[in-house]
Amino acid sequence: MSGHRKLTCGEAVALLYDYLDREGAQASIEDVEEHLQICRHCCDRFAFEASLWKVVRRKGSEAHCPESLKLRVSKLLDDY
């Protein structure tokens, strides 16, 4: 575990879309996964986001609007 950084909830959320998109650096994704294992709050939140994301992805092949949806979701998260 040496050199392994623990994420705060804020950092984990900031990496959320990288994580869902699997576009983040592998190290960040591992950090997020580790955080999810220790943080129930983010775990619930990410589970919600992940299911939403799957819908977006599916719909995304028909209607192409992930950007506006991302904005809507981040607004939602701000209110959370």
Q: Does 20 participate in binding Zn ion (rule CB under 5 A)? A: no
The minimum distance between CB 21 and Zn ion, in angstroms, equals 19
Site for Zn ion in 28-67 (CB under 5 A): 39, 42
Residue 9 vs 65, nearer CB to Zn ion = 9
Residues 6+ apart with CB under 8 A from 29: 15, 18, 19, 22
Q: In 10 A of CB 68, how many CB atoms? A: 8
Q: In 10 A of CB 13, how many CB atoms? A: 20
Residue 11 vs 66, nearer CB to Zn ion = 11
Residues contributing to the site for Zn ion (CB under 5 A) = 9, 39, 42
